[in-house]
Amino acid sequence: MISQTLIRDFADIIGKLTIAINLKSLRVAKNDYEKVLNELIKWVSYYCEHENLNIVTHDESLEIHNILLDRSVDLMMNASIPAMESILSDDILNRYEVIVKTINDQRSCK
């Protein structure tokens, strides 16, 4: 069964990534955010079609987490990045962590 909460979390992070990609102040993170966005869109498509997230591997999820964590730290330490953009980067990372926790919780229930 498709979790409405998980869909909402995906929609939230996809929206935030789309905003971040289009902000001039975050252009240094654009390529990484586009890579993450494309991967998450694949996950959502698979989830809607198969009602599971078997497509998500530990290695992929860890790679994405590392990308988001690196970007968040880089942007936080960059004095030329406005605070709101740094907060957006943190929000993206936090939402991703919620999604991965939900996926792992669903897998452990099986």
Confidence of residue 3 (pLDDT cuts 50, 70, 90): confident
Q: What is the pLDDT of residue 109?
A: 81
Three-state SS string across the chain, please? Answer: CCCHHHHHHHHHHHHHHHHHHHCHHHHHHHHHHHHHHHHHHHHHHHHHHHCCCCCCCHHHHHHHHHHHHHHHHHHHHCCCCCHHHHHHHHHHHHHHHHHHHHHHHHHHHC
Q: Could you read off the pLDDT of 54-106 as tens digits, one per residue? A: 999 999 999 999 999 999 999 999 999 999 999 999 999 999 999 999 998 88
pTM above 0.85, yes or no: yes
Total domains, the chain? 1
pLDDT at 28 exceeding the cut of 80: yes
Q: What is the pLDDT of residue 1?
A: 64
Domain encompassing residue 91: 4-109
Q: What is the pLDDT of residue 8?
A: 93
**Average pLDDT, stretch 2-28?**
94
